[in-house]
Amino acid sequence: MLVSRIGRGTDFVDSLDLSPVTVIIPALNEEAALPLVLRDLPRVGCVIVVDNGSTDRTAAVARAAGAHVIAEARRGYGAACLRGLAEVEELVGRARPSAVVFLDGDHSDHCELLPELVRPILAGHADFVLGSRMLGRRDPGAMPPQSVFGNRLACFLMRVLCRARYTDLGPFRAIGFDAIKRLGMRDTNFGWTVEMQIKAARAGLRTLEIPVPYRRRVGQSKISGTVLGSVRAGYKILYLIAKYGLMPRRP
Give me the number of domains the chain comprises.
1
Distance CA 41, CA 65 (A): 11
In a domain, 233, yes or no: no
* CATH code, 38: 3.90.550.10
90-107 as b/e: b if 16+ CB within 10 A: ebbeeebbbbbbbbbbbb
Residue 73's nearest CA partner among 19, 22, 28, 37 is 28
- Domain extent, residue 31, equals 21-141+168-187+199-215
Distance CA 228, CA 140 (A): 23
In a domain, 151, yes or no: no
Q: What percentage of the chain has pLDDT greater than the value 90?
A: 75
pLDDT of 232 reads: 72
pLDDT of 69 reads: 98
In a domain, 28, yes or no: yes
15 contacts: CB under 8 Å, gap ≥ 6:
none
User: Which residues does residue 27 pair with via DSSP β-bridges, in sequence order?
Assistant: 51
Reported as a single tens digit per residue, the pLDDT across 38-79 is 999 999 999 999 999 999 999 999 999 999 999 999 999 999
Residue 22's nearest CA partner among 37, 44, 50 is 44
Of 11-20, 66-75, 162-171, 178-187, the range with the lowest mean pLDDT is 11-20
